[in-house]
Structure 1
Amino acid sequence: MIQDLLVRPRRDAGFTLLELLVVLLILGVAAGAVVLGLPDPRAGALEREAVRLAAQLEAARSAARATGQTRHWRPTASGYTWEPSMAADAQHWLEPDTQVQVLEPAGADRLVLGPEPILPPQRLRLTLGDLRADIASDGLRPFARVAAPPTAPP
C-alpha cells in the first residue's frame, strides 16, 4: 500500500487542455447568444424617425384646421419641405440615410394637409437600409406608425 502511493504519478495542480477548451466553447456560445439578442440600432432610429414625422404631420394637420390654410409636405433629396414654411418646421431627418416615398394617394409627390376634417387616405414609407416603416392616416384618424401591407410573392 505504501508502495502504491510512492509509485502513483503526482498530478500537477491546474486544468487540462480539454477542460479549458470546454470553458472557452461555453463562453463563445454565450457571447454569440448575447450579440444575436441585441436589437439593431438602425431599427430604433427608423422608429424614432417614423414617430417624429407622424407627430409633425399631425401637428401640421391641426394647424391647417386651426388657420384654415392648407399645408403641403413634400420629400426632398436631403429631407423634406413644408409649404407654406413656418419657423418651427423641421426639415431634415435625424438619420441622414433615411429615404421616404409617398404611397398614397397613388402617384402623388406630396401630402396635402387641409383644413377639412376628413382628408383622403395618405401613406408614407420610410426606409433606412433594408428596414422600412409606414406612416398612415385613413383621413379621419391621426397619422401613426402602421404595419406595412403584405407584399405579393414574385
Structure 2
Amino acid sequence: MMRRAPASPVTRSTAGFTLVELMVVIAIIGLISGAVVLTMADPRGRVSGDVDRFAGRVRAARDSAIVAGRPVALWVSTTAYGFERRAQGQWEPITEGPIAAHDWSGETRAALGQQTRLRVMFDSVGQADQPLDFALERDGQKLPVRMTLDGKVTSGD
C-alpha cells in the first residue's frame, strides 16, 4: 500500500499586509512627523525661537574658537548678529556655515541700550572677554538675553 503525501497546507493569500507590517509603517510615519514638527519654525513667531537659534550659533562659535585654537568674535546689532575669526592679525567676517551672519527673524529687533553694536570675543580656550546683555523685542514682547563668560546663553523666558 502506497502512502499518500499529506495534503498541502492551506496557502495564505499573499495580497495585503500583516498587522506587524502596518504597525512598522505607522511607527515610521510617526517618527518622521515628529522630526518635521520639531524642525518647523514657530508660526506664531515667538521671540524665544530667535534666542534658541542665537544660543546654538554662539555655542558653535565658541567651539570653533577652541577647535581652531584661534579667537572668534561675536557681534550683535539691532537687526542682525554675526561672527568674525582672527586670521593673519586681522578680524575677518565668517561668511559661510552655521556661524555666518544672520538677521533676527521677522520684526525682531535687539535692544542694545545706548550702543548700536555689541562685540564679545571668545579666546582659544572658549572664554569670553565679557558677558553680554541685551533684549530682543517683537510685537510688544520683550525678552532679556544674557550670555555668560563661558558662552552659555539664557533668556528671561
* TM-score, with length taken from structure 2: 0.53
Partner residue, 1:64 = 65
Partner residue, 1:113 = 122
Following superposition of structure 1 onto structure 2, how do residues 35-114 of structure 1 map, counting pairs within 5 Å? 41-42=44-45, 44=46, 46-76=47-77, 78-84=79-85, 85-88=94-97, 89-93=99-103, 95-102=105-112, 109-114=118-123
Bigger share in helix:
1
In our comparison, the structure showing a higher alpha carbon Rg is 1
Deviation at 1:72, TM superposition (A): 1.7
RMSD over aligned CA atoms reads 3.0
Identical aligned residues as a percent: 14
Aligned residue identity for 1:60: A
| Match status 1:139 vs 2:140 | no
Secondary structure, counterpart of 1:52 in structure 2? helix
Deviation at 1:101, TM superposition (A): 3.7
Distance in 2, Cα, partners of 1:107 & 1:56: 21
Aligned residue identity for 2:63: S
Q: Do the aligned residues in 1 keep the contact of 2:110 with 2:136 (CA within 8 Å)?
A: yes
Aligned residue identity for 2:69: G
**In the superposition, relative to structure 1, how do residues 94 and 123 fare at CA in structure 2: closer, same or farther (>3 Å)?**
closer
Deviation at 1:83, TM superposition (A): 1.4
**In the superposition, relative to structure 1, how do residues 123 and 90 fare at CA in structure 2: closer, same or farther (>3 Å)?**
same
Bigger share in strand:
2
Q: Do the aligned residues in 2 keep the contact of 1:100 with 1:126 (CA within 8 Å)?
A: yes
* TM-score, with length taken from structure 1: 0.53
Number of equivalent positions: 104
Q: Deviation above 6 Å: which 4+ runs of structure 1?
A: none
Distance in 2, Cα, partners of 1:136 & 1:112: 15
Partner residue, 1:5 = none
**In the superposition, relative to structure 1, how do residues 60 and 128 fare at CA in structure 2: closer, same or farther (>3 Å)?**
same
Runs of 5+ consecutive residues of structure 2 not aligned to the other structure: 1-42, 86-93
Secondary structure, counterpart of 1:57 in structure 2? helix
Deviation at 1:51, TM superposition (A): 0.4
**In the superposition, relative to structure 1, how do residues 69 and 145 fare at CA in structure 2: closer, same or farther (>3 Å)?**
same
Deviation at 1:99, TM superposition (A): 1.1
